[in-house]
Structure 1
Amino acid sequence: MEVIWFMVFSTFETLAIYSLIMSLLRFKTTEYIWQALIVMILANLQSFIMRNELQLDFLAPLITVLIFVFLFSAIIKIPVIWSAICTIIGYMLYALVQTAYLTTIFGSIDSIQTDHANGYILQILSGATGLLISWIMYRFGIGFKYDLEKLRIKFEHVLLIALIIVVLILIAILFYLNRLWLHLLFFGITFGIFLYYAINTEERDSYDHRRNIKADSGGDQTPGTRP
């Protein structure tokens, strides 16, 4: 039962972080939502495994950040540098919100660690606030207004594929040494999705075409309305 509650509340948290990052990039949260949800569920499952079965609490957040970077760079086709910058900022914004609730309502992290219910309440409050902030940001056009493509590295397409493969190999070795075959399968599926989108150049062309249309119509300069 613990894994179910962990997945539910962690997915709500990661959805809030995803929404914050999308708003920073001035995209609607609903864009790529299904691909994002699949990746988030797989990422949270792997986070649970690393925290509870491998006792790698320190490594789980880093892996989740990498997964978000790959999500935005491989699937949503944001340049890797911007993907990393916005992912870090999104996590920092969410961490500030959660820290504020933690100190004002629960007093200390000990109350969260000793009572799972408090932890779930904290996740709900933080996630809901994160979603609200992201809606406000998108509604009023708060986010990066720069031309994201200017920071795209030469041969970034090849570099991204190489990075995904390297990270996958390193994590595969970790799971192999611990004989976690099913978990290795889940991780393989996640990174397989990234590789599929990273290799799919038609998706990149579609993204570039959409960006050009927005630029020509002035869509990047004015905030939209979140559905």
Structure 2
Amino acid sequence: MNAIWFMVFSTFETLAIYSLIMTLLRYKTTAYIWQALVVMILANIQSFIMRNELHMDFLAPLLTVLIFVFLFAAIIKIPVIWSAICTIIGYMLYALIQTVYLTTIFGSIDSIQNVPSHGYILQILSAGTGLLLSWIMYKLGIGFRYDLEKLRFRFEHILLIALIVVVLVLIAILFYLNRLWLDLLFFGITFGIFLYYAIHTEERDTFDRGKISGPDGGRDQAPGSRP
């Protein structure tokens, strides 16, 4: 029975993360939903095995992030670098939401670990907030509209790939240490760094298109954007 509840609430959580990432990419949540559900179920199965069978809880979030990167790169055909960037931004935003709820309502991680119902409540609150936030963002047109296919500045992207690898390793380390204040600090800083980079890239792409097209010759949307 625990396995069933785990799958139900974890699927609700991963759906919220998926929705946030899709909104950042300017896709509707319902786009690719069936393919995403299959991937999410597989991700939750591996998470259950890692947590309950292998007792390697700290690796489960890392594998979930990598599975989402695979989903967006292989199925939705987003370039791997931008799949990783948007996945990290979406995941960190969700983790930040959940950590805030955990801090303000439950006070500690022990409360969640010792009382299973608290964990389910936390998942519902976090996932519900994530889904609502993604819906608001999509309605307001918040997301990245630049051409995702353009990969410029080779050395910049080498550094970016190195940063992504470091972030993934740190995710595993932080969950292993299980310190709430470190999680909050890390999720906030990482979310800010990658969001700043993505916004800066969008502004740079818009400026470059403006120089090429002139003040009136540009399109309303970049080639990689969605309505």
Give the TM-score category using the shorter length.
0.5 to 0.7
Paired letter, 2:47: S
> Which deviations, in whole Å up to 9, do the C-alpha atoms of 1:135-174 show, x marking residues without a partner?
11111111112110002999xxxxxxxxxxxxxxxxxxxx
8 Å contact 1:47–1:64 — kept in the other structure?
Answer: yes
8 Å contact 2:13–2:126 — kept in the other structure?
Answer: yes
| 1:112 CA displacement | 0.5
| Equivalent in the alignment of 1:49 | 49
In structure 2, the CA distance between the partners of 1:20 and 1:129, relative to structure 1 (3 Å rule), is: same
8 Å contact 2:145–2:222 — kept in the other structure?
Answer: no
In structure 2, the CA distance between the partners of 1:223 and 1:38, relative to structure 1 (3 Å rule), is: closer
Paired letter, 1:36: A
Q: Which runs of 5+ in 2 are unaligned?
A: 155-217
Q: Which runs of 5+ in 1 are unaligned?
A: 155-214
8 Å contact 1:139–1:223 — kept in the other structure?
Answer: no
8 Å contact 1:141–1:223 — kept in the other structure?
Answer: no
10-19 or 42-51, which deviates more: 42-51
CA–CA distance in structure 1, aligned partners of residues 129 and 223 of structure 2 = 26
| Equivalent in the alignment of 1:158 | none
Q: What value does the CA root-mean-square deviation take over the aligned residues?
A: 2.3
Q: How many residues align?
A: 164
Give the TM-score, by structure 2 length: 0.68
8 Å contact 1:69–1:84 — kept in the other structure?
Answer: yes
Structure 1 segment 20-169 matched on structure 2, within 5 A: 20-151=20-151
8 Å contact 2:147–2:224 — kept in the other structure?
Answer: no
In structure 2, the CA distance between the partners of 1:55 and 1:140, relative to structure 1 (3 Å rule), is: same
In structure 2, the CA distance between the partners of 1:40 and 1:221, relative to structure 1 (3 Å rule), is: closer
Give the TM-score, by structure 1 length: 0.68
CA–CA distance in structure 1, aligned partners of residues 39 and 224 of structure 2 = 30
Off by >3 Å, runs of 4+ in structure 1: 215-224
8 Å contact 1:79–1:153 — kept in the other structure?
Answer: no
